[in-house]
A = this chain, B = another copy of it.
Amino acid sequence: MSTLKEEKVFKDPVHSYIYVQDELIWNLINSAEFQRLRRIRQLGTTFLTFHGAEHSRFSHSLGVYEITRRIISQFERYNYPDWPKEERIVALCAALLHDIGHAPFSHSIEEIFETDHEQWTVKILLEDTEINHILAAYAPDLPLKVAQVIQKTYSQSIVVSLISSQLDADRMDYLLRDAYFTGTDYGNFDLERILRVLRPHQGTIVVKESGMHAVEHYLMSRYQMYWQIYFHPVTRSSEIILRQIFKRAKQLYTEKYTFQWMDPAIFSLIEGTLHLNSYLSLDESLVQYTFSRWQHENDQLLSELCERFLNRKLYKYITATEMPEQWLEEIKKAFTSIGLDPEYHMEIDYPMDRPYDIYRTEQPIISGREKAPIMLLEKDGTLTEIASKSDIISSISGLHQGRFHLYYPEEALIRHRHQLSARIKQIFNIQDEEQSSND
């Protein structure tokens, strides 16, 4: 297994073309486990807010591979001594496969069923799969090496740095790709310039000092993407519905409710007995098909939630800087009084409760999620942390912009408005009389 007789290309809207020169990479792309990524959207439920965001983890994974390939090919062209040339294949495989263990709508599924996509990635790499066989056929220790890169324990830390750092191939691809498919300008930055100023340096990737402004632009783009796209409250609303569905199904299972229909893999997922083969059968088709069947379940709550998700009847939200406990209790009481279930019909969300991290240099808020800061390589060979040189980065690195959102089913409140107190109506801005349609 080696270099392809003829280089293969994929037309890609973000990188123009994706180039495959190695038979190993070609075979990995054609494996069943990798093709499965076509059936998992990159941005989960975001397509319900930005209809263009229908792109899959398949295209993102190719993109991360391509950026990594370009970085390495430049390191090789200039013969940088700090780049270990023998790591090329390990890095390319890790870039291509870094998301291979994702479930459909990963964050929601991981939260409710306590699974972890990184552990599944490692299983796919090390257990009996097409991918494992392809890697092992190339070199018996390759599956393990790639798994170590994913787990950030690989001895050659520079390879980890390529795939997972503040300025890694993963982020660079997803910002550009998500901006392209949602149709926003926010995520654009000068990829070509950034690739040009990256340097391998003592086991990590650093940035040539002259590239500081390009990195500033990248970080500002990232900042905007988080607030405009990733933390968009409508997307959050659809994620909440999704999580409520899984939560309800789990609860019904506990209560020994008889489902009219359930796919075996979903059953194992709820039961906590999922094996690799079943895990790999999980994709968005299965989840959506499941919801379309559960629309007709006898349990009203499950049925309602599935109908909400499929037909995009999302929860509305109100926003506040504070949400005191007493006030929430009052709302719950009011909700209960009109037949809503506060467990399922309301949810509070604070934007920071999520596994994204705005650039920061101090202590990470969410332990285990920290990424090394971006270092500038000065002309004299010393390293400086970028926020200490860039006023704009130091400005944004301390920002905590979030506010609380409370999500709820608006139609129910309007329908039962006669039963609500003036105070509750004011909170949720419910008019006493339904407005005539000619207003």
In the bound complex, residues from chain B placing their C-beta under 8 Å from that of A140 are none
Q: Report how far A23 CA is from B439 CA in the complex, Å.
A: 11
Q: Report how far A189 CA is from B220 CA in the complex, Å.
A: 13
One of A93-101, A162-170, A222-230 at the interface: A222-230
One of A105-113, A244-252, A282-290 at the interface: A282-290
- Which residue of B14, B59, B311, B396 is within 8 Å of A32 (Cβ)? B311
A217-B186 CB under 8 A given contacts A52-B12, A285-B284: yes
- Which residue of B1, B32, B38, B217 is within 8 Å of A185 (Cβ)? B217
Is A55's CB within 8 Å of the partner chain B? yes
Q: Report how far A305 CA is from B382 CA in the complex, Å.
A: 38
Question: Is the CB–CB distance between A184 and B11 below 8 Å?
Answer: yes
Q: Report how far A35 CA is from B35 CA in the complex, Å.
A: 26
Q: Report how far A4 CA is from B182 CA in the complex, Å.
A: 25
Is A9's CB within 8 Å of the partner chain B? yes
For window 49-108 of chain A, which residues contact chain B by CB distance below 8 Å?
50-52, 54-56, 58-59, 62
Shortest Cβ distance from residue A309 to the other chain B in the assembled complex, whole angstroms: 10
Query: Which of the four size classes fits the interface of chain A?
Result: 35 or more
Q: Report how far A55 CA is from B185 CA in the complex, Å.
A: 19
Q: Report how far A223 CA is from B395 CA in the complex, Å.
A: 13
Which residue of B is nearest A265, CB measured?
Answer: B292
Q: Report how far A288 CA is from B17 CA in the complex, Å.
A: 28
Is A272's CB within 8 Å of the partner chain B? no
Question: Is the CB–CB distance between A13 and B189 below 8 Å?
Answer: no
A54-B55 CB under 8 A given contacts A35-B311, A311-B32, A437-B1: yes
Question: Is the CB–CB distance between B30 and A312 below 8 Å?
Answer: yes
Q: Report how far A30 CA is from B196 CA in the complex, Å.
A: 24
Is A320's CB within 8 Å of the partner chain B? no
- Which residue of B11, B51, B285 is within 8 Å of A10 (Cβ)? B51
A213-B227 CB under 8 A given contacts A52-B55, A54-B56: yes
Question: Is the CB–CB distance between B213 and A224 below 8 Å?
Answer: yes
In the bound complex, residues from chain B placing their C-beta under 8 Å from that of A292 are 281, 283, 285-286
Which residue of B is nearest A295, CB measured?
Answer: B281
In the bound complex, residues from chain B placing their C-beta under 8 Å from that of A58 are 51
> What copy number does this chain have within its complex?
4
Question: Is the CB–CB distance between B13 and A437 below 8 Å?
Answer: no
Question: Is the CB–CB distance between B224 and A13 below 8 Å?
Answer: no
Which residue of B is nearest A56, CB measured?
Answer: B54
- Which residue of B48, B59, B289 is within 8 Å of A285 (Cβ)? B289
Shortest Cβ distance from residue A10 to the other chain B in the assembled complex, whole angstroms: 6
- Which residue of B5, B9, B284 is within 8 Å of A196 (Cβ)? B9
Shortest Cβ distance from residue A374 to the other chain B in the assembled complex, whole angstroms: 17
Q: A30-B311, A38-B312 are in contact. List 9 more A-B contacts (CB 8 A).
A: A11-B50, A12-B51, A17-B192, A17-B196, A30-B312, A32-B311, A51-B56, A217-B224, A283-B288
Q: Could you jot down 14 A-B contacts, CB within 8 Å?
A: A12-B52, A13-B180, A16-B183, A17-B196, A31-B311, A54-B54, A217-B224, A220-B224, A223-B392, A283-B288, A285-B288, A285-B289, A391-B401, A395-B396
Closest 4 interchain pairs by CB? A13-B183, A395-B395, A285-B288, A289-B289
A residues in contact (CB < 8 Å) with B: 1-2, 5, 9-14, 16-17, 23, 30-32, 35, 38-39, 47-48, 50-52, 54-56, 58-59, 62, 180-186, 188-190, 192-193, 196, 213, 216-217, 220, 223-224, 227-228, 281, 283-286, 288-289, 292, 310-313, 391-392, 395-396, 399, 401, 437-439
